[in-house]
């Protein structure tokens, strides 16, 4: 489980996260939603240690990431898989080499075992016959799937996804959401997903946290979100015609 | 300005830490030797042959009809090529070619979150991406400079002898005349220092790029300009220290 306690983050005078406290549960898809610029990505970057908060704690099974030294952070990061908004695949490596990369770094597997594992992960995300292609040779949806395969290659305990279905068509986006949800339950990992896609929320939102102007404004799940009377959240939900009709 | 200098020196701490996987590290070093070093061989040879040839013609033009023996052309060409042309001018060219490549490669990785991905995996990106490049260039640039010296002298020989400016014997006698092996040490020492400056400065500007494609382009230009300025400044310091 990942717990956040009294997290503050600012850039200069501008406070981006204000006293955020929440838990992200194991084996469930934990969604962070909010408008663009509300602080979702900053929160996620604080969670994985890419940003250092001014104060507060980020607890990975009771171990505080913020106060750790670099070596301890590095050991926790070996248990983290992350899917970036733009996939962040390494351009100079093939699809297979991208998936093998974390195994190269942290395991003593033989090359055969690593290839076998990479093939397993690629099959798990429904990708075949792309092993020797470079990221520039595959589509956006395939890149996201390769990024997921790379993220799960080293059996992570924590999976972070920053807007995993942005820029994808609704069908591919739904496939990606479903895939993340399945992997979360199958491997019993803690998954945190940043999104402003309401389809994702209604499809896989086991736990949903709504961030508004840097504050944790609302908590619930995919069922309770449709019955909310929180005005800021309603304003966010009503921006989507589909959700608006659903709530009515 | 002071902040940038401080940041540059702090960047060294991350770059020169211990690589986590030695086998992987050396694989990276050899890949970089191929990418950054071997790739530069044709341009270095081409430039050196033509510069050596032009230098010989200019020297012949300046000494023709004077009370100066013809072998002086070989002697002066050798000194100019070993002391300044090959180590400094070729390094300036490499600052543009290799430096901008390093800067734009790392800068693009920064703006497309590939460096963040490495960091999230618990890998020190500065060490993983930059140290192999530094070692590859510090190892391979002296080889490039030796090649450059050889081809520049060869270019001078072909032009000088083929056009009848002097005999082969005079040119070779001039090359051997009063040769001090320390000159070669001086040239290679300078080259290693320049290789270090080119890779670390270019990597630094790439690593701290913020924004998008425009900023990557800016970082690439900035790194080439700063590397050139540092090369000519450090060249003067090394020359004064070793030859002054």
Residue A5 phi, psi dihedral angles, 5° rounding = -125, 120
Assess if residue A215 is contained within a domain: yes
Assess if residue A150 is contained within a domain: no
Q: Is residue A26 pLDDT above 70, yes or no?
A: yes
Span A46-66, average pLDDT: 89
Q: What count of residues does chain B have?
A: 244
Cβ–Cβ < 8 Å for B127, B138 = no
From CA B112, how far away is CA A86, in angstroms rounded?
A: 7
Q: Which domain holds residue A206?
A: 1-79+197-248
The pLDDT averaged over each successive group of 10 residues in chain B (244 residues) is 89 88 87 90 95 93 80 92 94 94 95 92 91 95 96 94 88 91 95 96 95 92 95 96 90
- What global pTM score does this model have? 0.87
CB nearest to A86's CB, from B21, B113, B123? B113
Assess if residue A57 is contained within a domain: yes
Can you tell me whether residue A156 is helix, strand or coil? coil
Q: Is residue A239 pLDDT above 80, yes or no?
A: no
From CA B173, how far away is CA B72, in angstroms rounded?
A: 9
Q: Per the CB < 8 Å rule, is A74 touching B116?
A: no
Q: Per the CB < 8 Å rule, is A85 touching B114?
A: no
A69, A82, A99: best mutation site toward chain B, by most B Cβ within 10 Å? A82
Assess if residue A19 is contained within a domain: yes
* All residues at 6 or more sequence positions from A231 whose CB lies less than 8 Å from its CB, including other chains: none
Q: Per the CB < 8 Å rule, is A73 touching B122?
A: yes
Residue from A4, A58, A19 nearest A213 by CA: A19
pLDDT band at A247 (very low <50, low <70, confident <90, very high): low
Assess if residue A235 is contained within a domain: yes
Residue from B211, B28, B61 nearest B134 by CA: B28
Domain count, chain A: 1
Specify the CATH number for the domain of residue A5.
Answer: 3.40.50.300
Tokens of A170: 């609704």
Q: Per the CB < 8 Å rule, is A88 touching B21?
A: no
Assess if residue A158 is contained within a domain: no
> What pLDDT was estimated at residue A86?
87
Assess if residue A119 is contained within a domain: no
Q: Is residue A154 pLDDT above 90, yes or no?
A: no
Can you tell me whether residue A166 is helix, strand or coil? coil
* Pick from A78-82, A114-118, A175-179, B114-118: least confident: A175-179
Assess if residue A112 is contained within a domain: no
Cβ–Cβ < 8 Å for A132, A95 = yes
For A88, nearest residue in chain B (alpha carbons): B114
For B119, nearest residue in chain A (alpha carbons): A50
Burial class (CB in 10 A: 0-12, 13-18, 19+), A245: exposed
Tokens of A97: 């080499």
From CA B224, how far away is CA A200, in angstroms rounded?
A: 46
> What pLDDT was estimated at residue B201?
96
């Amino acid at each position: 489980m990942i717990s956040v306690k009294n997290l503050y983050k600012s850039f200069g005078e501008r406070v981006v996260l204000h006293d955020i406290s929440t838990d992200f549960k194991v084996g469930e898809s934990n969604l962070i939603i909010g408008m663009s610029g509300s602080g979702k990505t900053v929160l996620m970057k604080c969670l994985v240690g890419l940003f250092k908060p001014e104060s507060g704690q980020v607890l990975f099974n009771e171990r505080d990431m913020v106060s750790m030294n670099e070596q301890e952070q590095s050991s926790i990061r070996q248990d983290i898989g992350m899917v970036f908004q733009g996939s962040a695949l390494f351009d100079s490596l093939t699809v297979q080499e991208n998936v093998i990369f974390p195994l190269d770094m942290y395991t003593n597997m033989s090359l055969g075992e690593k290839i076998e594992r990479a093939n397993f992960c690629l099959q798990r995300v429904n990708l075949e016959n792309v092993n020797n292609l470079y990221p520039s040779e595959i589509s956006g949806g395939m890149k996201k799937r390769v990024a997921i395969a790379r993220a799960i290659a080293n059996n992570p305990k924590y999976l972070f996804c920053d807007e995993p279905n942005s820029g994808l068509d609704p069908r591919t986006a739904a496939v990606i959401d479903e895939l993340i949800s399945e992997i979360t339950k199958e491997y019993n990992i803690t998954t945190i997903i940043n999104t402003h896609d309401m389809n994702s929320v209604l499809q896989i939102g086991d736990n949903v946290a709504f961030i508004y102007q840097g504050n944790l404004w609302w908590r619930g799940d995919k069922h309770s979100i449709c019955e909310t009377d929180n005005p800021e959240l309603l304003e966010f939900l009503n921006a989507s015609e589909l959700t608006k009709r659903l709530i009515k | 300005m002071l902040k940038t200098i401080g940041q540059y020196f702090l960047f060294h701490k991350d770059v020169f830490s211990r690589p986590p996987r030695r086998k992987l590290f050396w694989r990276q070093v050899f890949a970089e030797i191929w990418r950054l070093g071997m790739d530069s061989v044709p341009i270095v040879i081409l430039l050196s042959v033509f510069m050596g040839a032009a230098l010989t013609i200019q020297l012949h033009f300046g000494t023709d009809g004077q009370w100066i023996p013809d072998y002086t052309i070989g002697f002066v060409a050798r000194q100019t090529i070993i002391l300044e042309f090959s180590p400094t001018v070729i390094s300036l060219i490499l600052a543009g070619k290799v430096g901008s490549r390093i800067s734009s490669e790392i800068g693009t990785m920064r703006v497309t979150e590939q460096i963040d991905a490495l960091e999230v995996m618990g890998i020190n990106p500065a060490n993983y991406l930059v140290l192999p490049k530094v070692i590859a260039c510090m190892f391979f640039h002296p080889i490039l400079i030796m090649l450059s010296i050889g081809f520049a002298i060869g270019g001078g020989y072909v032009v000088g002898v083929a056009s009848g400016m002097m005999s082969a014997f005079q040119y070779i006698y001039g090359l051997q005349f009063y040769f001090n092996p320390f000159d070669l040490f001086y040239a290679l020492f300078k080259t290693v220092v320049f290789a270090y400056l080119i890779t670390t400065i270019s990597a630094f500007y790439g690593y701290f790029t913020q924004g998008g494609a425009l900023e990557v382009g800016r970082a690439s230009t900035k790194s080439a300009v700063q590397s050139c300025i540092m090369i000519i400044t450090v060249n003067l310091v090394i020359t004064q220290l070793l030859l002054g």
